[in-house]
Structure 1
Amino acid sequence: MAGTNWYQNNGCGITSELLCEPKVPLYSLADVQLRFLCPNDLDEVRALCQDWFPIEYPYYWYEEITSNNSRFFALAAVYNRTIIGLIVAEIKPYDKLNPEDTAILAKSLRNNSHIGYILSLGVAKEYRRNGIASLLLDSFLRNLTTPEKKKVKAVFLHVLTSNSAAIMFYEARRFQLHSFLPYYYAIKGRCKDGFTYVLYINGGYPPRNL
């Protein structure tokens, strides 16, 4: 498995069922509230992630993303007082990236730049294809276009090569395939290949050879 950072190696894109037909169509996206996670959400979020993702996140990860920790952008979509979707992301300096991710930016941009990383993005099965994932992703991206976030030059994520629904979702939102990561994931004792997808923002761009 590549790299040494737990989140990098085990982060997951949208589940493959995201693009399936919904079982409970929403009346309107206006009925969905967006709010940041809080400590009281831990058990609910843990149950959702265990249902959505093939990755087994450690308990302390749930503690961190629900603790109002400024490290994470952990946003929930809430409908009828129930969390039906969430995005977990973080912003980090370029020099804190794992080796396999350092070729994301052109060399001329690497000094003092920051990068956004999407750890997880998921929606409850019965509410998929209602625009919830797009709502969450767009909220994170808008947060990165404010004047104080101009140092953020790219947003990236890792996704299983077999996760065609997630790949279609991100490509439709202008994320570009950046690299292939053989044996990147360890899922239930088996190694799985991954892709890196990148969206360039705030004047960011890839190395010229890409």
Structure 2
Amino acid sequence: MAAGPSGWIEGPIPDQVELPPATESEATGADDYLPRSSSSAMPDPNAASVPRLKARVHRRFSTADVCATIPLSEVRFRPLQASDLEEMMTLHTEWFPVSYDQAFYDKSVNGQLFSLVAIHSAASQSAGSSSSEEPEESLLGMITMSTFCEHHGEDIKHILGGECEDLCKRKKSSGPVSDAEEGQAAQNTGNTGQLAYILTLGVCDAFRRRGLAKELIRRSIAHVDHNMPEVLAVYLHVVTYNQAAIRLYESTSFTCIEHFPSFYFLHGSHYDSFLYALYLHGGHPPWKWRFRNLWSLGLPTTWRKWLVTAWSSLWQSDADKRVQDSDP
């Protein structure tokens, strides 16, 4: 689900399940001294189910004051890799009120899904450490994105106005293809479909409000723009109470295309979703959305009547032509 600064909540991917409330033993366990997540994706930030901050990054960056000493020029960007798996899973637990299945994490770190992670490196300062040691990398934030039809098949009609099998011009294999082969083909050709779906976006608690989430979005969109000419829109779902996420996406030129009632079920309650999209490579919203938007702008009655008449005439003309073509 798409998101909002640091604890965005994006559209769910398959087999996403709700996190259970914290048990009594968890609530009174050894981690009680740890602060809780301040993710804007959480439906109730004061609930016992809000997770504690256990990721490694918090050992180095426990407060915003510490992070403030790090200029953004020292932050580097790269794809996720296998060594990031444990930290990625821990951070996603802190950021989102849902649990993602293992396949999502595996595909993210092995390159089958697009990913971009913001990192900061620092040599270990512990006693006896050698200057030749590899610098410790801290994951400050990350974004994951998919162009696979399995993720956008149900949304594409709202974004582009057609069905996935008609719009996505993917090469069909003559035989069965493994997940690894399909992922590698996606990396090599970038031709899995006409939509790029932002699955998750998050920034660690202490590094928020520094512009990092916006930079992750900017770089991801630039990648799609330069390397995936077949993709006509980047899109996401965001829970309607996540105002921080909504402000973020609107500030990066995303447009609200649709509203889905009761899209999420989080901590025992239903929540609505907004679908936001950013169009690229000549892509545009469906005529239905554009017509509805024009109507909502308060067009004068005369123009409204003209538009309705013109639309009806075009539809009737097309219908008459289909009838004529079908006559023997």
TM-score, scaled relative to structure 1:
0.83
Larger fraction in strand: 1
Query: Is this contact kept in 2: 1:154–1:199, CA < 8 A?
Result: yes
Identity of aligned residues (%): 30
Structure 1 residue 46, shift from structure 2 partner: 0.7
Q: Distance in 2 between matches of 1:84 and 1:7?
A: 23
Q: Which of 86, 98, 121 is residue 43 of structure 1 equivalent to?
A: 86
Q: Which of 70, 95, 102 is residue 157 of structure 2 equivalent to?
A: 102
Structure 1 residue 97, shift from structure 2 partner: 3.1
Q: Distance in 2 between matches of 1:136 and 1:43?
A: 21
Which secondary structure state, in structure 2, belongs to the residue aligned with residue 166 of structure 1?
helix
- Alignment of 1:130 with 2:210, yes or no, is yes
Larger fraction in helix: 2
- Alignment of 1:90 with 2:152, yes or no, is no
Which secondary structure state, in structure 2, belongs to the residue aligned with residue 168 of structure 1?
helix
Q: 1:52 to 1:120 in 2, by over 3 A?
A: same
State the one-letter code of the partner of 2:140. I
Of 156-165 and 184-193, deviating more is 184-193
Q: Which has the larger radius of gyration?
A: 2
State the one-letter code of the partner of 1:77. A
Q: 1:165 to 1:10 in 2, by over 3 A?
A: farther
Which secondary structure state, in structure 2, belongs to the residue aligned with residue 119 of structure 1?
strand
Structure 1 residue 144, shift from structure 2 partner: 1.2
For 1:67-78, what aligned pairs fall within 5 Å after superposition? 67-69=110-112, 72-78=113-119
5+ unaligned residues in a row in structure 2: which ranges? 1-10, 18-38, 42-62, 122-136, 170-192, 290-328
Q: 1:8 to 1:198 in 2, by over 3 A?
A: farther
Query: Is this contact kept in 2: 1:89–1:117, CA < 8 A?
Result: yes
Q: Deviations over 1:18-63 (max 9, x none)?
A: xxx9442253221001111111111101111111111211233222
Query: Is this contact kept in 2: 1:26–1:127, CA < 8 A?
Result: no
Query: Is this contact kept in 2: 1:9–1:185, CA < 8 A?
Result: no
Moved over 6 A (4+): none
Q: Which residue of 2 aligns with 1:177?
A: 256
TM-score, scaled relative to structure 2:
0.55
Q: Distance in 1 between matches of 2:90 and 2:151?
A: 30
Q: Distance in 2 between matches of 1:6 and 1:28?
A: 33
Which secondary structure state, in structure 1, belongs to the residue aligned with residue 236 of structure 2?
strand
Structure 1 residue 104, shift from structure 2 partner: 0.6
How many correspondences in the alignment?
196
Q: Distance in 2 between matches of 1:123 and 1:96?
A: 23
- Pairwise CA RMSD: 2.7
Q: Distance in 2 between matches of 1:41 and 1:128?
A: 20
For 1:1-210, what aligned pairs fall within 5 Å after superposition? 7=13, 15-16=39-40, 22-23=64-65, 24-69=67-112, 72-80=113-121, 81-93=137-149, 97-106=152-161, 110=167, 112=169, 114-146=194-226, 148-210=227-289
Select the structure with the greater relative contact order (CA < 8 A; seq sep ≥ 6). 1
